[in-house]
């Protein structure tokens, strides 16, 4: 983990509410699914850092090391609104890389990536390596599909479902998963909790492995503040589950280890 000021390389608006930010950083090795904690302003408001998944690695040094990182974000509140005003050349305070990423698939016949909304972010680095994987993406409407074109550059099988039918098939991404899943598959998923719970249930019925990247509010990113706790399922011989930190124990978990009924959906 490294903490010191970095330089913003670019902060480009991709559509009405979505941005790409490049940050100069002679990066350590980064695993797909890891994240950084960013202080969006030098002032005291907002005080706490914000977590952002690492979308891409910039520069010519290869897949896991580079000269910078790229973040994607959606303007949804004060913090991301301030972030959208930052300029190239500005210093930005970043801590990372943090958390455990996705395990590399080995021995599986089919890799299925399932993403909802900004859940695309932690899947991109792995997708760049696994050209034969299938991506299933779900969104509310066409506006949220702006980054799909990045995946289509090197993935042959990309399927999209939107709730309003404005892009791809009308419906939910979990309906696509029901159709794609087969024996010997492995699932990598990130998105809303309801989507992840359903993906986990589909994987359990099909008796396949499913790894999920959880998105939770967090203040520290290193397991100290306990603000991102999630309940795990009891193990054999134990009467109750334990709480695990999304930032330090995750954000990637085996979906079978999560007590999905503990979430207020």
Residue 181 · residue 207 · CB < 8 Å? no
Look up residue 160 and give its two tokens: 């999209």
Range of the domain at 18: 2-98
Tell me: do 15 and 141 sit in the same domain.
no
Tell me: do 26 and 121 sit in the same domain.
no
Residue 137 · residue 157 · CB < 8 Å? no
Domain boundary among 49, 66, 98: 98
Residue 184 · residue 206 · CB < 8 Å? no
Identify the CATH number of the domain in which residue 205 sits: 3.40.50.80
Tell me: do 148 and 255 sit in the same domain.
yes
- Ranges of the chain whose pLDDT falls below 50: 62
The pLDDT tens digits of the residues spanning 142-151 come to: 999 999 999 9
This prediction's pTM: 0.90
| Percentage of residues of the chain with pLDDT beyond 90 | 67
The pLDDT tens digits of the residues spanning 128-172 come to: 988 889 999 999 999 999 999 999 998 989 999 999 999 999 999
* pLDDT of res. 163: 95
Tell me: do 129 and 255 sit in the same domain.
yes
Nearest residue to 158 via CA among 167, 166, 143: 167
């Amino acid at each position: 983990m490294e903490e010191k000021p970095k330089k913003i390389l670019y902060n480009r608006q991709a559509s009405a509410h979505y941005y790409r930010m490049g940050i100069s950083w002679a990066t350590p090795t980064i695993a797909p699914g890891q994240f950084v904690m960013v202080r969006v302003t030098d002032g005291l408001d907002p005080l706490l850092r914000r977590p952002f998944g690492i979308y891409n690695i910039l520069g010519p040094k290869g897949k896991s090391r580079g000269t910078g990182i790229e973040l994607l974000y959606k303007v949804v509140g004060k913090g991301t609104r301030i972030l959208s005003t930052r300029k190239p050349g500005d210093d930005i305070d970043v801590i990372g890389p943090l958390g455990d990423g996705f395990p590399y698939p080995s021995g599986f016949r089919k890799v299925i990536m399932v993403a909802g909304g900004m859940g695309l972010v932690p899947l991109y680095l792995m997708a760049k390596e696994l050209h034969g994987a299938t991506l299933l993406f779900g969104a509310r409407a066409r506006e949220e599909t702006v980054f799909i074109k990045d995946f289509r550059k090197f993935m042959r099988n990309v399927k999209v479902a939107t709730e309003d039918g404005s892009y791809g098939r009308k419906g939910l991404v979990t309906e696509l998963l029901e159709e794609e899943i087969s024996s010997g598959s492995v699932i990598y998923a990130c998105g809303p909790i309801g989507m992840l719970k359903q993906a986990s249930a589909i994987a359990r019925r099909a008796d396949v492995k499913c790894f999920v990247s959880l998105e939770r509010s967090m203040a520290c990113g290193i397991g100290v503040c306990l603000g991102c706790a999630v309940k795990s399922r009891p193990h054999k011989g134990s009467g109750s589950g334990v709480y695990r930190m999304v930032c330090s124990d995750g954000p990637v978990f085996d979906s079978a280890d999560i007590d999905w009924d503990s979430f207020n959906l």
